Structure 1
Amino acid sequence: MGNLSFDVAHLFAGSLVLVSFMLLYQDRMSGLINIFTAHAVILSFSVGWQAYIQHSPHLFVTAAIAIIFKAVMIPVSLQRIMERLRIHRDIEIIGGIGVTMLLGICLVALSLVVMLPATAAADPLAREDLAFALSVVLLGLLMMVTRRNAISQVIGFMSLENGLILAATGAKGMPLVVEISVAFSVLIAFIVIGIFLFRIRERFDTVDVQELDRVRGGRR
């Protein structure tokens, strides 16, 4: 059972890193939202498995929160925002997909080089999950930096937060009250971001960050 627990946990964590690369590769808004849904589903499976092998029932609550909010409510809301704002175009990627993917590979290698030696005394399952989690966090940051569309940057932020949840559960979990407060904080932040996106669209007729910078520069 020990080897099975180890292998399944790493399968889910590795799959989360793989789907993070798929987020980096995607250049269509609708596809980006669908892949983020898969990202959230894999996270919920990973957390659910950790709840089972750690005998921590409260982590099942975290898995349920990930399914309900991140795999259902947020993607549906993003689809509606996209339809309301009439965003049905390609996402411009700074530097191109090839350069972004190469940087992503370098960040994953950096995560392994930094995290594995730093957690040498920790449980083998926890230390490798933490390395995967750091990879997901850094790939989320890379996505935020290389995307010019505000909605895609929001998705990058939420994928980054998925990496933080993976790290917390892999390191023997976190208190239930913290998990619930984090979930509601993310939901409130998402609602606020949605409101700002609508206001930006009404004001400037775009949600492209580069275009907004150009408008701001022209008013100085």
Structure 2
Amino acid sequence: MNLQLLAQINSFLAALVLLTSFAMLSQRKINSLVTLFAWQGLFLSINTAVVGFVAAKHHLYISSLLTLSLKVILLPYILHVLVVRLKIRKEMETIVNIPTTMLIGIALVIFSYHLTAPVREMSTLITRSTLAVALATVMIGLLMMITRKHAVTQIIGFLAMENGLFFAATSATYGMPLVVELGVALDVLIAAFIFGIFFFQISTTFDSLSVEQMESLREDN
């Protein structure tokens, strides 16, 4: 297959990953946020398979399947069960309003392209154009963690950050060693279970998962 066409497919998938990051940043409904996270994982999985084909790195096919099973199926399912069990139905509150948050996100994308420009000029990899998108995905995930009041949405922001880090590794070096990727995947899965148990305990004790309300309780004490 033509390398130029594969490079265009790679860039298109990177654009979809970035688009889902902005959609997550602007989303207030928790169920929609979980769905968008699953879509981001799907685009990331397909992109990893494309990079594996271009670079002839067979371990990336395993990484792609791992991403598909973990971030498209298992983690969204765990998050969905968490939302149902905790009876989260209202729209999620934000510390900064959505338009301002989106403007900050755009500024982070511009900053990412400026920061990675020297690397893109020196690199000969087909994925060099997507490195800025990967860095922007990391920073937008961090921004979502900072600007959300609800603990569950902050965890989704953390998982989106991890997506960006994985994307950056694929873009910069054609992926991490498989043993490292397996270790990271296991850590993320265990963290998801721990967070789930932790949230149940908080919800039972304080009847809320709002970080702001928990801080006010600490101040009262």
Point out where structure 2 has 5 or more consecutive residues left out of the alignment. none
Q: What is the rounded CA distance, in whole Å, between the counterparts of 2:3 and 2:52 in structure 1?
A: 15
Which segments of 5 or more consecutive residues in structure 1 lack a partner in the other structure?
Answer: none
3-state SS of paired residue (1:27): coil
Q: CA separation in 2, counterparts of 1:14 and 1:124? A: 18
Q: Distance in 2 between matches of 1:57 and 1:127?
A: 20
Q: CA RMSD in A?
A: 1.0
Partner residue in 1 for 2:207: 205
Q: Deviation at 1:124?
A: 5.3
**TM-aligned CA deviation for residue 65 of structure 1:** 1.0
Partner residue, 1:140: 141
2:15/2:133 contact within 8 Å kept: yes
Please tell me whether residue 172 in structure 1 is matched to residue 177 in structure 2: no
Q: Is the 8 A contact 2:135 2:164 kept in 1?
A: yes
Match of 2:95 in 1: 94
- Measure the CA separation in 1 of the matches of 2:33 and 2:90: 12
| 1:118-161 C-alpha deviation (Å, 9 max, x unpaired) | 44211253332211100100000000000011110010010110
Residue identity opposite 1:178 in structure 2:
V
Q: Give the Cα separation in 1 of the matches to 2:119 and 2:219.
A: 44
Greater shift, 17-26 or 123-132, is seen at 123-132
CA contact (8 A) 1:40 1:66 kept: yes
Deviates more, 1:204-213 or 1:127-136: 127-136
The aligned residue for residue 49 of structure 2 is 48
Is the CA contact (8 Å cut-off) linking 1:115 and 1:127 kept in structure 2? no
The share of aligned pairs that are identical, in percent, is 36
**What letter corresponds to residue 208 of structure 1 in structure 2?**
S
* TM-superposition CA deviations, 1:16-72 (whole Å, max 9, x none): 011100000111011111111111111101111111111111111111111111111
- Compare 140-149 and 121-130 and name the one that shifted more: 121-130
Q: Which residue of 1 aligns with 2:85?
A: 84
Distance in 2, matches of 1:126 and 1:45, equals: 14
Distance across 2 between alignment mates of 1:59 and 1:22: 27
* 2:68 paired residue number: 67
- Name the aligned partner's letter for residue 108 of structure 2: L
